[in-house]
Structure 1
Amino acid sequence: MEHKTNKLTLKKALLIYIVLFYAAWAVYELLCRKLLDSAINNDLIVEMCETVIKNLVWTLPAVLLIHKYSSDVLVRLKEMFTAKVNWLKYLPVFAFFTVYILVNAYSQYGEIKIQRNFGIASIIMVFFVGLEEEMVFRGWLLNATVNEDKKWQYIILNALMFLMIHFPIWIRNGIFVSSFTHFGFIIILLLSVIFSTEFLRSKNILVPIALHMYWDLLASMFVG
Structure 2
Amino acid sequence: MGELQIDLKINKSYIWIYFIIFYVLWSVRELWIVQYLDLMDSVPRAITSAIIKIVIWIIPVILMAKIIEKSNPTSYLGLRSNFKKSFKWICWVFLVFIFYAILNITVLDNNIDFHIGFDEWLNVFLLVGITEEIVFRGFILKKLMDSFRFWIANTITSFLFVSIHFPIWIHKGLFLFPDILITSINIFVLSAIFGYIYKKTSSIWSVIIIHSFYNLLVLIFY
Give, in angstroms, the shift of residue 181 of structure 1. 5.2
Whole-Å separation in 1 of the counterparts to 2:150 and 2:98: 28
Q: How does 1:77-88 map to 2 (within 5 A)?
A: 77-78=74-75, 80-84=78-82, 85-86=84-85, 87-88=87-88
Say if 2:133 and 2:208, in contact at 8 Å, map to a contact too. yes
Q: State the alpha-carbon separation in 2 of the partners of residues 62 and 104 from structure 1.
A: 37
Render the CA deviation track for 1:76-120: whole Å, top value 9, x for unaligned.
742622332330333111221343355357666x3332154x122
- Give the AA of the match of 1:90: I
The residue type equivalent to 1:97 in the other structure is F
Residue 13 of structure 1, CA deviation: 2.3
Quick one: which of 121, 124, 127 aligns to 1:123? Answer: 121
Partner Cα separation in structure 1 for residue 117 and residue 99 of structure 2 = 22
CA contact (8 A) 1:114 1:221 kept: yes
Q: Return structure 1 stretches of 4+ with deviation > 4 angstroms.
A: 104-108
Superposed CA offset, 1:101-155 (max 9, x none): 55357666x3332154x12221101111111111111111111111596210110
Consecutive unaligned residues in structure 2, runs of 5 or more: none
Separation in structure 2 between the aligned mates of residue 182 and residue 155 of structure 1, nearest angstrom: 19
Q: Which amino acid aligns with 2:134?
A: M
Aligned CA distance change for structure 1 residues 43 and 178 (closer, same or farther; 3 Å): farther
Contact 1:29 1:169 in 2 (8 A): yes
Query: Is the Cα contact below 8 Å between 2:12 and 2:146 reproduced in 1?
Result: no
Is the 2:174–2:180 Cα contact (8 Å) retained in structure 1?
no
SS where residue 5 of structure 1 aligns? helix
Instruction: Kindly tell me the number of residue pairs found equivalent between the two proteins.
Output: 217
Which stretch has the larger CA shift, 197-206 or 83-92? Answer: 83-92
Query: Which ranges of structure 1 fall in alignment gaps of 5 or more residues?
Result: none
Query: Could you tell me how far apart the structure 1 residues matched to 2:201 and 2:64 are?
Result: 21
Q: CA deviation at 1:22?
A: 0.6
Question: In structure 1, what is the Cα distance between the partners aligned to 2:157 and 2:64?
Answer: 17
Q: How does 1:107-118 map to 2 (within 5 A)?
A: 110-116=109-115, 118=116
TM-score normalised by L of structure 2? 0.86
Alignment map for 1:57-96 (pairs within 5 Å): 57-70=56-69, 77-78=74-75, 80-84=78-82, 85-86=84-85, 87-96=87-96
Query: Structure 1 length as normaliser, TM-score?
Result: 0.85
1:25 aligns with 2:23: no
Contact 1:101 1:219 in 2 (8 A): no
Deviation at 1:66, TM superposition (A): 2.2
Flag the 1:145–1:98 CA change in 2: closer, same or farther, 3 A.
same
**Maintained 8 Å contact 1:135/1:205:** yes
Q: Does the CA-based 8 Å contact 1:66-1:139 persist in structure 2?
A: no
- Report the alpha carbon displacement of residue 62 of structure 1 after superposing the two structures with TM: 1.1
Alpha-carbon distance change, 163 to 181 in structure 1, aligned in 2, over 3 angstroms? closer
> Given that residues 63 and 140 in structure 1 are in contact (C-alpha distance below 8 angstroms), is that contact kept between their aligned partners in structure 2?
no
Distance 1:212 1:153 in 2: 22
The whole-number CA distance in structure 2 between the counterparts of 1:26 and 1:51 is 16
| Aligned residues of 1:29 and 1:172 also touching (Cα < 8 A) | yes
2: distance between equivalents of 1:196 and 1:76? 19
